Amino acid sequence: MSTRRRGPAGAFVAGAVAAATIGGGLGLSSVPAAAHTRDHRPALGIENCTATACHFDLPPGTYDVRVRLGGEAASRTAIGGETRRTLLAETPAGAGQRVTRGFTVDVRTPEGEPTGPDGSPGLDLTLGGSAPALAGIRVTPAADRHTRQILLVGDSTACDQPGDPYSGWGQQLPQYLRKGLSVANHADSGESTVSYLGNPHLWDTVRSSIRPGDLVLIQLAHNDKTTGEAAYRANLETMVAGVRAEGGEPVLVTPVVRRWFNADGTLDNDTALLVNGLGVDHPAVVRSVASADGVPLIDLTAKTKALVESLGVEDSKALYLSDEKRDNTHTSEYGATRFAALVRDELVLGHLVPEGRVRKG
């Protein structure tokens, strides 16, 4: 199960700049992507933004971004970044109003899926929404002592999908996090527990990226179609031990369901609930390992099952790519966003992330 369509994806500056209705009709010209200040450090303000995007010539790392939104007219602004990540959901501001928001973003190479292309260097942001308006922006390196990473280990249902209409829930999770929490999405299309552990660009990279106190969410099952129960359990235990050895906190995540209904409108079948051809009940094994090893569990199988069943056969199609691609495994942007909200809620309920560090909208 793989969708490998590879591809890229200071202080506030005075004065308002609207991305769509710029200053009530004033034009905003493009600036060189590598604009620098007088002391030759990269410029970290709005001088690196055009009407639709911002580019900051920065090395890999973790950065805090603070934006001021709004213009002369009422506006609604969303911000994306890197490979189609949603960093800030559409945010309203009244006419003449300024709204300040902050978030923390992971900048790395490759910028999207770990086995994909490098993408463009530096930090790239996109300005969207129904009436976008950017009044100011500041980008600063995040201080390690104030920043915690959420690293994701997973497959195509969680990854930073490079092409529309696909989207992984990990791609949508950043919009729910405030400054001080970043998402480093190392999920990769087509991976099983076997292939993820066996690829040094995947598991070894994750381990080397863990800082003490970081969360590492592990959701692998969809592609373990020929993995026996003992091997699957051992692979999960290896990942748990590896995260702990680096000072991180592992969190096991059961896989999102496939949209495969029974005649009675339930999802109680092997295809939907990720029981492979060998009879291995993947969610049950994940739950068992979490219980035996004292690992926090996010039962995303149960949560997505309840959501999909509550919507029913027809309305649940919008969560997946049922109509667009006849695909009842991979999610649309809407579906990935709904699933990411479930993960956010479980992070808070499990006391893994303070409630004050998440956005509810």
Assign residue 274 the CATH number of its domain: 3.40.50.1110
- 129 Cβ contact list (under 8 Å, min separation 6): 75, 76, 77, 78, 90, 91
Domain co-membership, 285 together with 218: yes
Domain co-membership, 215 together with 341: yes
Domains contained in the chain, number: 2
Domain co-membership, 83 together with 133: yes
Domain co-membership, 216 together with 323: yes
Domain co-membership, 283 together with 192: yes
Last residue of a domain, one of 89, 112, 141: 141
**pLDDT at residue 361, rounded to an integer:** 72
The pLDDT of residue 42 is above 80: no
The pLDDT of residue 217 is above 50: yes
The pLDDT of residue 339 is above 90: yes
Domain co-membership, 108 together with 222: no
Q: Which residue range is the domain that position 129 belongs to?
A: 22-141
Average pLDDT over residues 255-276: 97
Residue keyed to tokens 């945010």: 91
Assign residue 127 the CATH number of its domain: 2.60.120.260
pLDDT tier at 1 (50, 70, 90 boundaries)?
low
The tens digit of pLDDT for each residue in 271-310 reads: 999 999 999 999 999 999 999 999 999 999 999 999 999 9
Residue 304 resides in a domain: yes
Does residue 296 have a cis bond before it (omega within 30 degrees)? no
Residue 16 resides in a domain: no
Residue 41 resides in a domain: yes
Domain co-membership, 58 together with 128: yes
Average pLDDT over residues 239-257: 98
